Amino acid sequence: MSTVHQGAFGGMPTPLYPASPSRLLAWLDCPRRYRMQYLDRPRPPARPQRAHTSVGITTHNVLRDFWDLPPVRRTPEGVAELVRSSWIDVGFRDPEQSAAWRQRVRESVVDYLRGSDRDRQPVGLERSVALRTESIAVTGRVDRLDDRDGELVVVDYKTGRQVPTEEDARTSLPLALYAAGAARTFRRPCVRVELHHVPSRTVVAHEHTQESLARKVTEAESIATDLRRADAEFAEQGVEAPSFAPRPSPLCTWCDFRAHCPEGQHMGPEKSDWAGLDGDGSTRPVRSDEGVRHD
């Protein structure tokens, strides 16, 4: 009996390209960082976690676990206990700075939740959603899914220094993919997306249409087409593949893989572990795919 090797059959459909919003955006930010993060094996060591990432992850975890508390414990004291048990003491200058930021996170989460209906249970918390088209299979994890009058609403938490705008909500590729994926996963309408800036309690929103969501899905398919080509090139040529040239920018001073990129090192001195923290209780902008993984 002869052995048939995989790929020997002609006319077989091209497999769907598996992607996440984080993977798509990593390619747009810098092809070299994308290669090191997703393709290189062994993966180059990343720098230690910074303090602003610890703040962001802790805040997300507390806002996730808060809704698992019984209603009688959804109090400032309950939040304080969650912050204490979830705190990530990594990247801070010293114990005093860590303790000060732990208190700030507690206060900001309590203030944010005062404006929430604490008796209305979300439909999903860090819920995975999926979307398939003729060319891609996108999976992502939504911070929170609400039910508002029978329709789903995507809620994405932000913890950074920069307060998001309605334009940020309108143009966000991840938010649109989460909405399209939630609609497919739950078989319910989902067109509203919201960015909740926890430190300032700012909420900005955008109401998509089916047409605008379709355009965002098409955008994701276009990026995935480039990724499919680049991934194949890497499989043949490895790190010598020309598709992975760096894209130097001010972001290089924050890059977790800076130590492996001479071009990035020329963009200026590396930021300290706590450089993302400032004196007024906020942090450097943290995108949804930075620190808090949404793959």
Residue 7, phi-psi category: left (phi > 0), alpha (psi -120 to 50), beta (remainder): left
Res. 256: pLDDT tops 70: yes
pLDDT at 261: 97
pLDDT in tens, 34-80: 999 999 999 999 999 999 999 999 999 999 999 999 999 999 999 99
The dihedral over CA atoms of 209, 212, 126, 55, expressed in degrees to the nearest 10, equals -120
Residue bearing tokens 């309108």:
170
pLDDT at 282: 38
Domain 124-217, CATH class in plain words: alpha beta
pLDDT at 223: 98
- pLDDT range class, residue 283, cuts 50, 70, 90: very low
pLDDT at 288: 35
pLDDT at 8: 42
- H-helix or E-strand spanning residue 224: helix 210-237
Selected residue with higher pLDDT from 4 and 25: 25
Res. 197: pLDDT tops 70: yes
- pLDDT range class, residue 119, cuts 50, 70, 90: confident
Q: What percent of the chain has pLDDT over 70?
A: 90
Q: Provide the angle, in degrees to the nearest 10, between the axes of the packed helices 210-237 and 173-186.
A: 110
pLDDT in tens, 141-186: 999 999 999 999 999 999 988 899 999 999 999 999 999 999 999 9
* Burial grade of 242 (CB within 10 A; 0-12, 13-18, 19 or more): exposed
Res. 203: pLDDT tops 90: yes
- Over range 204-231, report the average pLDDT: 98
pLDDT at 118: 86
244: nearest Cα among 220, 261, 265: 261
